C-alpha cells in the first residue's frame, strides 16, 4: 500500500473512532434522561399496609389473605391491635398458604418472637420512637439512639431489619431519622437499622421531597405511597387523586431507589379491598402516563 493509501486508512480509522465515541456519548445521555423502569412498582412487588385494624369489614386472617391474593399482591406489612394478638400465628400460616410474604410487623409484641423462630419468618420491624428531651442536637440524636437500643439488639439477635417509622414530630423528620440511623450504625454497628418513610406523614416535606429522598435513600427500607395534597387536605387520599402525585412519583422513579413500595388502606370507613383497589388503579394510571412498563401489571 502506498503512502496515500496508508493516510486514507488512518483518516477512516479516526473518523470511525469519533463516530463511535459520539454514539456512545449519545447513548449515555439518552440513558441518563430516559424514564426509569423499576420492577418494584409492579403490582406483585407492592406491600399492602394498614389493612388489619383499619379494615371496615374486620376480616379474619383467612379472609384477609384471600383478599390480598385476589388483588394480586404478595406482601403484607402487618399492623395490629390487642384483639389481634391471638391471631398472629394464624395470620402467618394463612399468608404462607396463599403465597404472601409476611413482610413487616408494626412495633413489637413478645408473642411474635417464638413465631419468628418457629416459622422462620424475617419481617422488618417498623417502629416509631419517642421525641428526645431538650438539649443540643447531638445530645438529642444520642438520646434517641439510646432509647432504641433494646429493639436494636432484639432485632439483631433475631436477624431482622429495624425500620424507624416517621409519624410526625422530631422523630419523624427525615434528617433526624438519618442522624439517628448513622449514630446507631457508627456507634453500635447496627447496619440493620434503616428508615420506613410514609408519604401520609410527610406533607411537610412535599416541597423538598427530592432532596429528602436523596438523603434518605441509603437508609430506606420501604417507601409507603399516598395521594398528596397541600396541608394534608385530606391526610389519606388514593394515589393519583392528589395534586402532587405525578411529581412525587416521578421523583421516586428517577431517584434510583429500587426498594419496597407500600400502598395503604388506612381508611376505617372503607372495606380494605376497596381502598387498596383505589390505590392500585390510581398508581397504575400515573405509571401509564409516565410510560413505565410496570403499569401493565395493573391492567
Q: Helix, strand, or coil here: 289?
A: helix
Are 121 and 6 members of one domain?
A: no
On the CB side of 16, CA atoms within 13 Å amount to 6
Cell numbers placing 81: 391491635
What local confidence, expressed as pLDDT, does residue 65 receive? 99
Burial class (CB within 10 angstroms; exposed 0-12, middle 13-18, buried 19+) of 291: exposed
Average pLDDT on 40-44 reads 97
Residues 105-157 have pLDDT tens digits of: 999 999 999 999 999 999 999 999 999 999 999 999 999 999 999 999 999 99
279 and 215 assigned to the same domain: yes
27/126 same-domain check: no
Whether the predicted pLDDT of 38 surpasses 70:
no
- Check whether residue 27 and residue 93 sit in a common domain: no
Q: Under 8 Å CB-to-CB from 45, ≥6 apart: which residues? A: 39, 74, 75, 260, 261
Are 107 and 8 in the same domain? no
Q: Tell me if residue 69 falls in helix, strand or coil.
A: helix
- The pTM for the full model equals 0.87
Q: Are residues 17 and 51 in the same domain?
A: no
Dist CA 256 CA 138 (whole Å) = 30
Check pLDDT > 80 for residue 4.
no
pLDDT of residue 9 exceeding 50: no
Contact 194, 162 (CB under 8 A): yes
Angle between helices 174-188 and 137-158 (to 10 degrees): 60
Give the CATH number for residue 276: 3.20.20.150
Per residue in 51-68, pLDDT tens? 999 999 999 999 999 999
Q: Does one domain contain both 224 and 281?
A: yes
Total count of domains within the chain: 2
Q: Which residues pair with 197 in a beta bridge?
A: 223
Q: Look up the domain containing 5 and give its range.
A: 1-34
Amino acid at each position: 500500500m502506498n503512502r496515500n493509501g496508508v493516510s486514507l486508512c488512518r483518516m477512516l480509522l479516526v473518523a470511525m473512532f469519533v463516530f463511535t465515541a459520539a454514539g456512545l456519548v449519545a447513548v449515555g445521555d439518552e440513558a441518563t434522561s430516559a424514564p426509569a423502569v423499576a420492577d418494584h412498582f409492579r403490582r406483585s412487588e407492592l406491600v399492602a399496609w394498614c389493612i388489619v385494624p383499619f379494615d371496615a369489614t374486620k376480616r379474619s386472617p383467612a379472609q384477609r389473605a384471600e383478599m390480598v391474593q385476589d388483588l394480586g399482591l404478595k406482601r403484607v406489612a402487618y399492623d395490629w391491635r390487642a384483639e389481634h394478638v391471638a391471631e398472629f400465628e394464624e395470620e402467618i400460616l394463612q399468608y404462607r398458604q396463599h403465597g404472601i410474604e409476611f413482610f413487616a410487623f408494626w412495633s413489637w409484641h413478645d408473642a411474635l418472637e417464638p413465631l419468628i423462630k418457629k416459622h422462620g419468618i424475617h419481617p422488618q420491624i417498623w417502629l416509631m420512637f419517642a421525641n428526645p428531651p431538650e438539649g443540643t442536637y447531638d445530645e438529642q440524636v444520642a438520646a434517641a439512639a439510646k432509647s432504641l437500643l433494646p429493639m436494636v439488639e432484639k432485632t439483631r439477635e433475631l436477624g431482622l431489619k429495624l425500620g424507624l417509622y416517621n409519624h410526625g414530630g422530631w422523630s419523624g423528620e427525615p434528617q433526624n431519622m438519618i442522624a439517628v440511623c448513622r449514630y446507631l450504625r457508627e456507634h453500635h454497628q447496627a447496619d440493620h437499622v434503616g428508615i420506613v418513610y410514609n408519604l401520609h406523614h410527610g406533607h411537610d416535606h412535599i416541597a423538598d421531597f427530592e432532596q429528602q429522598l436523596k438523603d434518605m435513600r441509603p437508609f430506606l427500607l420501604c417507601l409507603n405511597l399516598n395521594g398528596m395534597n397541600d396541608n394534608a387536605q385530606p391526610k389519606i387520599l388514593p394515589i393519583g387523586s392528589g395534586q402532587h402525585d405525578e411529581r412525587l412519583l416521578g421523583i421516586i422513579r428517577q431517584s434510583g431507589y429500587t426498594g419496597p413500595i407500600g400502598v395503604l388502606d388506612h381508611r376505617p370507613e372503607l372495606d380494605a379491598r376497596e381502598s387498596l383497589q383505589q390505590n392500585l388503579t390510581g398508581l397504575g394510571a400515573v405509571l401509564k402516563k409516565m410510560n413505565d412498563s410496570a403499569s401493565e401489571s395493573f391492567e
